[in-house]
Chain A
Amino acid sequence: MTLRGTTYRHAPGFVAGDRPKVVTGRFEFDDSYTLTRAKATGAYQGLEAALAKTPTEVHEMVTGTTLLGRGGAGFPAGVKWGLLAKGVWPRYLVVNGDESEPGTYKDRLLMERDPHCLIEGVLIACYAAGLSRCFFYIRGEMALAQERMATALNEAYVAGYIGRNILGSNFSVDVVLHWGAGAYVVGEETALIESLEGNRGMPRLKPPYFPAAIGLYGKPTVVNNVETLANLPWIARNGIEAYTAIGTETSPGTRMVAVSGHVKRPGVYEIVNGTTTFRELLYGDDFCGGIRDDNDLKAFVPGGGSAPWFIEDQLDLPFEGKLIGPAGSMLGSGAVMVMDSTTDIPAAALTLCRFYAHESCGKCVPCREGGSWLERILTRIVEGEGRRADLDLLLEVGESICPGTFPHAASKRLGIGSAPFPYRMTTICFVGPSAYAPVHSALTLFPEEFEQRVAVNDDRRVLIPLAVSSD
């Protein structure tokens, strides 16, 4: 299938391999999104298996698998459901399909290519946790995903999988399709709820830390990522032992990882969680097959644009949150972005920093002001107008967003103790710190690239005004 300049049937990029398939089992079929194909390949059998058990048994099964949330924070799904306020009704499910973290590309694939798997996951979650209405929130820019989900929901309603008395049981739930209108911050779960209530998508003050206590319309609410829910049908069909047999005890199962940037074979891979290392992923013949043009690796972002960067020293770390955190970053949303030796590091940092500055909702001052300051200072440096004092200014602005030590992969090289992820922050959500993470990573890992840029202006007496953002 040629993609360039032609109509495409669905999102490209998925690379199959000889690996366990938990969420991509149906991807080998071109018509994987239809109810006919889905049913022929086991769809809704997991739902039937779940309905044969009590809700508590299904909940305990999910808790027993230690299925970790795939949206970014990596919180166990079963535990999250267990936090729902007791005795308060109704309870809602909000599906987070607002995939917009830079580098992240997996939820859209799942929505376009296997919507029935997601619907089945939604139904299992609602049954297990007593959620009586579901809102499926898709990112506004994803027209085809919206279309595929709408078609699948329509089919599933008519076939009796959604709605009143599902499959003849006393289990009833409506799934309402909803989409956003372009705002990265809405991926934060309390901002998502605000948006769903028809408000500006700004994160809510915490505590309460979880919408499970007070969520949509002030009621207990579960917010789960698309990929997290996509695991449930397989788990319901195959059970705890089969799931935990894949991966490690603390990071079981598989996860979707998108590798982009300067690799030979960029793609979305379903990898074994906990054991697959970054070296395998970037260099393995089953995966990306090495850096483009056989260049050297300069740096890579291990878990989406918000994550502090890694360098070659961290290549042998596996996809295990318990090891990545102490090393100073996070696995986040399964997005690896690779920079080879030709990369202009300050410019790359600016690209990411600009994203977060642009996407700040404006609620917290350190992010609203700090993000755009970082962007403007960095722009000045990249355009050759920066001064040495600008480097300190970047650190100072960063300190106001994330006070104290900040994690970075250069700790060893700089002879200082490593600060684990996550860092302290003066903002409600992660957008502010995310604007600083790439800047800090770039500055500490590659200080010489910044110094070269600013050295030429050292003797200037007059400070050139900060450029006004072009966006």
Chain B
Amino acid sequence: MRFTDANVLLATDIVARYPVKKSALIPLLHLAQEQDGYVTNDAMAHIAELVEVTPAEVYGTATFYEMFKFEPVGRYVINICGTMSCALLGAHELIHHAEHTLGVRTGSTTPDGLITVNRAECQAACTEAPCLQVNYRYRYRVTPQDFDQLVDDLVSGRLAGEIPQHGVLAQVRQRIPVDRAVGAVPPESVTGPPVWYADESGAKS
């Protein structure tokens, strides 16, 4: 899907923060995924228009990054860490348990479309191993019983308030007040040092 009108406004605001429009590519891909749960071809075409590159360039960048999905995934994506610290403390057993509980292999989605489960790489919670993320929200020191409880809670909707649908990351957006913003200018249009630094650069260069 193309961006909704509200998201076009947001997108315009984001693009304006960068001295070069293409820098907004990844933030806009996140916005697309937030809107639709995954990144659609229509969204990529729309992003290409907004940042003035070709759709192929958008696709080229998007496919490099693991978080972007190009097909529908579950409402909840569970990423179980399998890297060193978690592996030393039972991650493999947890992954095995998850596959059995959900009845699908890692990399796939339950038939009801609710949960996608993945084996993931290090999530920076190494002291709290084994860990996992549900839509990038952490669960620490997860036992098989904890996992079952988590699945129960997701299925029953008890966590619906706490964990938004896949694609939603920070639920607070950065707002740069117009009267405070310095503003982004194209790099080539800047020829001298910033005003507070003018004396220093004269002395140094």
Contact = CB atoms under 8 A, between A and B. Distances in A.
A35 interface: no
Contacts of A305: 83-84, 122
Interface string A48-59: 000000111000
A337 B200 contact: no
Contact of B65 (A12, A132, A182): A182
A183 B122 contact: no
Interface string B160-180: 001000000111111111011
B27 A217 contact: no
Nearest to A154: B175
Interface in B82-102: 82-85, 87-89
Contacts of B17: 174, 176
A183 B62 CA distance: 11
B180 A162 contact: yes
A174 B176 contact: yes
A169 B181 contact: no
Nearest to B119: A471
Contacts of A104: 122, 124, 126
Contact of B126 (A7, A127, A337, A351): A337
B193 interface: yes
A107 B200 CA distance: 32
A180 B81 CA distance: 18
A258 B140 contact: no
From B18, B79, B119, B121, residue with most partner A Cβ within 10 Å: B121
Contacts of A181: 26, 29-30, 65-68
A374 interface: no
B205 A141 contact: no
From A100, A127, A217, A343, residue with most partner B Cβ within 10 Å: A217
Interface string A199-229: 1111000000000000001110000000000
B123 A170 contact: no
A270 interface: no
Nearest to B145: A5
Interface stretch (A62-70, A143-151, A276-284, A385-393): A143-151
Interface stretch (A84-92, A245-253, A319-327): A84-92
Contacts of A157: 175-177, 180
Contacts of A130: 193-194, 196-197, 200-201
Interface residues of A, number: 95
Nearest to B162: A7
A358 B135 CA distance: 21
A258 B123 CA distance: 13
B167 to A, nearest CB: 11
Interface string A298-335: 00010001000000000000000000000000000001
A259 B169 contact: no
Contacts of A11: 125, 138
Contact of B122 (A3, A102, A127, A195): A102
A100 B26 CA distance: 18
A209 B141 CA distance: 40
A178 interface: yes
A49 to B, nearest CB: 16
A153 interface: yes
Interface string B6-46: 00000000000111101111110110000000000000000
Interface of A: 3-5, 7-8, 11-13, 54-56, 86-87, 89-90, 99-105, 107-108, 127, 130, 132-133, 139-144, 146-147, 150-151, 153-154, 157-158, 160, 162-164, 169-174, 176-184, 195-202, 217-219, 258-262, 266-268, 301, 305, 335, 337, 339, 343, 347-348, 351-352, 355, 358-359, 361, 471
Interface of B: 17-20, 22-27, 29-30, 51, 53, 60-61, 64-68, 79, 82-85, 87-89, 119, 121-129, 133, 135-143, 146, 149-150, 162, 169-177, 179-184, 187, 190-197, 199-201, 203-205
24 contacts: A12-B127, A54-B199, A56-B204, A87-B205, A90-B190, A130-B200, A133-B19, A133-B184, A139-B124, A140-B169, A147-B170, A150-B174, A157-B176, A170-B195, A174-B183, A184-B121, A195-B26, A198-B61, A217-B20, A258-B126, A266-B128, A305-B84, A339-B88, A361-B64
